[in-house]
Structure 1
Amino acid sequence: MIETFALLLFAHMLADFVFQSDWIVVNKRRPPAFLLHIAIVFATALAATGAVADWLLLLALTAAHAVIDAIKLTVSDRLKPFLLDQAAHLITIGALAIHAPDLWATGLWAQTLPPLVTDPIPALAALLAGGIGAVIMGGHAIAKLLDMRERRWLRYRILKGSLPDAGRLIGQLERALAFGLVTAGYPSGVGFLLAAKSVLRFNASKDDRRVAEYVIIGTLASLGWALGAGLATRLLLLELGWFTP
């Protein structure tokens, strides 16, 4: 079951955070963009699991994804709906993994490729899914937490002259580093990462309380998200037998 869950989770992360382009996000209320996203959801699930014979189960998962997304389109694009939306997707993925635990084992890839190739695939999928969740999904969550209007105001009034998208890139790098440290079993290294960033951002925030609060909230939320993603991924890898307790 855990192998199936890992592959379905990886497929979901690809569909929602890698292959869902800005055009799809902006035009998702229009049928062509919405249907394209749903087609990508089905295609990634089929490609990840190789469950050609059980395509109806993947179609049911895709239909559930469509219903969840349709509901989300009726509410505001804020942090709470975003988290509830992702939680609902995880529940449906877990339900399918419980209902069809051998979806991966009986799929095309597991049946045709040699064990030397297929054995590491679930763990690799779990690691990549966790990385996407930490870096890309985390970026969306932190942006919604900080509120985009406030971020634009800060960039224009206080952080004017900074490199384009520098804040987004810094956030992605710090979450990637924190995720890597935690999954590798070195969570203490996150403390050094936090200290280094604090020193580097001190001069930018010491004279303005608003900037200081913005930096502190963003940094703690970003690293906290990465820590959570890293711990969840490590637990999943443990269940897959790639780590010992």
Structure 2
Amino acid sequence: MLTTALALILAHLLADYPLQNSWIIANKKRPEAMAAHIGVVFLLTLLALRAEILPALAITGAHLVIDVIKTHAAPNRLWAYLGDQLAHFATIGAVLWVWPELGLLWPEATLWVQYLLAISAGLILCVFAGGPAVGLLMADFSEIQHVGLPAAGRMIGVLERALIYLMVMAGQPAGIGFLIAAKSILRFDTVSKDQRASEYVIIGTLASFGWALLISYGTLSLITFTGITPPHLESASQLP
């Protein structure tokens, strides 16, 4: 069951983040954009379920309903974004409960397969899902103007969350302190001249780092407590 659950979670995260391009996101209220997204969801879910049509249709149908509600009825706020993702995960859990035989779909799965599924899902959740979460949190401070490269802040967030995830999974969380120090030094000239910009950077940085640490250690805990760490990696992925 664990392998099937991880495969479904990874399929969902791939469809919602790396494979949902900017055109789909910007035009989600248009039927063709929603259809393109739902088509990707169905194909990846079908792959994760090894061509089991009915449960794949159930997950895809629920995904469509949840996305329609979020797109047309829910406010563009952090709580709605988090609620949307929790609803998708709950749908996966419900389908596995209704069809318990789905737990037998991957009998040949090794510890390596489960481990790679878990760290891949954690990486997407940490790096890509964190961007919208932090952005929505910072929406209340949108009046603060910043002069810089277009989308540079978003790329910095992606890179810092990826580095934090890598450090935690490699068993080297002390490196996060150097990352904080480096960012503080690089941002010093900007924040020292403008208190509002300083506060904005601090809030955004803490939110991004907090998200990354939460997801990284959550993934590490899942791997540790389910016992899916390959033997020769156990020493590198121990919880501190």
Q: TM-score range by the shorter chain?
A: 0.7 to 0.9
Following TM superposition, by how much is the alpha carbon of 1:164 offset from its aligned partner in structure 2, in angstroms? 2.8
Give yes or no for contact 1:2–1:240 (8 Å, CA) kept in 2: no
2:186 is matched with 200
2:216 is matched with 230
1:1-245 pair list within 5 angstroms? 1-47=1-47, 49-52=48-51, 54-73=52-71, 74-103=73-102, 105-106=104-105, 110=106, 115=108, 119-147=111-139, 150=142, 153-155=144-146, 160=147, 162-238=148-224, 239-242=226-229, 243=234
In 2, Cα distance between equivalents of 1:33 and 1:182: 36
Give yes or no for contact 1:6–1:123 (8 Å, CA) kept in 2: no
Following TM superposition, by how much is the alpha carbon of 1:2 offset from its aligned partner in structure 2, in angstroms? 1.7
Q: Given the superposition, is the C-alpha separation of residues 219 and 180 from structure 1 closer, same or farther in structure 2, using an over 3 Å criterion?
A: same
Q: Given the superposition, is the C-alpha separation of residues 6 and 222 from structure 1 closer, same or farther in structure 2, using an over 3 Å criterion?
A: same
Letter in 1 for 2:15: A
- Show structure 2 runs of 5+ residues with no match: none
Following TM superposition, by how much is the alpha carbon of 1:191 offset from its aligned partner in structure 2, in angstroms? 2.1
Relative to the length of structure 1, the TM-score reads 0.85
SS at match of 1:20: coil
Following TM superposition, by how much is the alpha carbon of 1:184 offset from its aligned partner in structure 2, in angstroms? 2.2
Percentage of matched positions with identical amino acids? 44
Q: Given the superposition, is the C-alpha separation of residues 121 and 216 from structure 1 closer, same or farther in structure 2, using an over 3 Å criterion?
A: same
Following TM superposition, by how much is the alpha carbon of 1:101 offset from its aligned partner in structure 2, in angstroms? 4.8
In 2, Cα distance between equivalents of 1:236 and 1:210: 39
In 2, Cα distance between equivalents of 1:227 and 1:125: 19
In 1, Cα distance between equivalents of 2:15 and 2:80: 18
Following TM superposition, by how much is the alpha carbon of 1:235 offset from its aligned partner in structure 2, in angstroms? 2.1
Following TM superposition, by how much is the alpha carbon of 1:118 offset from its aligned partner in structure 2, in angstroms? 5.5
- Show structure 1 runs of 5+ residues with no match: none
Shifted more, 72-81 versus 223-232: the winner is 72-81
User: Which whole-Å deviations, capped at 9, do the CAs of 1:174-221 have from their partners, x for residues lacking one?
Assistant: 100111112222323222211221122111101211010011001000
Letter in 1 for 2:96: A
In 1, Cα distance between equivalents of 2:19 and 2:41: 9
List 4+ stretches of structure 1 deviating above 4 A. Answer: none
User: Which whole-Å deviations, capped at 9, do the CAs of 1:38-82 have from their partners, x for residues lacking one?
Assistant: 1111111122x2421x22011101111111111112122221111
Relative to the length of structure 2, the TM-score reads 0.87
User: Which whole-Å deviations, capped at 9, do the CAs of 1:136-188 have from their partners, x for residues lacking one?
Assistant: 1101111111118717x422xxxx2x233221111111100111112222323
Following TM superposition, by how much is the alpha carbon of 1:13 offset from its aligned partner in structure 2, in angstroms? 0.6
What is the alpha-carbon root mean square deviation over aligned residues? 2.2
In 1, Cα distance between equivalents of 2:16 and 2:100: 23
Letter in 2 for 1:226: A
